Chains A and B, each alone.
Chain A
């Protein structure tokens, strides 16, 4: 299975900050990388697919980049509703696997 490793595991930031979360794959996955946001008690919500494509309805402050084994999710200006846990997900090879998550907390 392809292992996905996110960093940091947790992050404290303030409203208006620019934050970047990284995700590394144990082998090349081209651009088969997606990002999700999850709030407590809720299902994950797709933010970014194919490494850099913004899902319909997702604010433009979210952006993704990368290819191969290194990927980033950037939130350009944190809003109060952005404090949540973020997961990367690879769909390059079966089984699909997820990163361990990055919990974004209010400073």
Chain B
């Protein structure tokens, strides 16, 4: 059964860059889209973007100018960088596996990283 484990700094100052990495254990790395989703406090999840095993990416236009996704298929890992962080970016950030060639859905999630942006 696939397991996602994520890590990265959780406390940032305004204007700094968020850097998170997610490792995939126990499952295939190819054939899926590997996603980042964030959830502001008390609000619904928000999709940031996704990458496949060969580095192809799709972004939410709301984040496209600030987000950069990358993959290291040799390590079964994928990463998110989000620049120019502000207090509005505070929340829990999740990595997730996006499954389904016809109907897409997130069937596996990392444990989440609480990211706080504060001076």
Contacts and interface: CB of A to CB of B under 8 A. Distances in A.
Nearest to B61: A95
A87 B45 contact: yes
Q: Is the interface of A mostly helix, strand, loop or mixed?
A: loop
A42 B39 CA distance: 11
B111 A98 contact: no
Interface in B18-72: 43-47, 58, 60-62
Interface in A31-81: 31-32, 34, 36, 42-46, 49-50, 53, 55
B76 to A, nearest CB: 19
Q: Which of A42, A55, A95 has the most CB of B within 10 A?
A: A95
Contacts, number: 59
A55 B99 CA distance: 12
Contact of A97 (B47, B104, B109): B47
Given A49-B103, A95-B60, A43 B44 contact: no
Interface residues of A, number: 24
Given A95-B62, A97-B47, A101-B44, A49 B100 contact: yes
Contact of B94 (A34, A43, A49): A43
Contacts of A89: 45, 105-106
A100 B44 contact: yes
A50 B103 contact: yes
Contact of B105 (A42, A46, A99): A46
B44 A87 contact: yes
Contact of A44 (B43, B45, B103): B45
Nearest to A6: B44
Contact of B107 (A46, A94, A98): A46
Given A50-B100, A89-B106, 16 more contacts: A31-B103, A34-B105, A34-B106, A36-B106, A46-B106, A50-B102, A87-B44, A91-B103, A91-B105, A95-B60, A98-B44, A98-B46, A99-B44, A100-B44, A101-B43, A101-B44
Interface of B: 43-47, 58, 60-62, 94, 96, 100, 102-107, 109-112
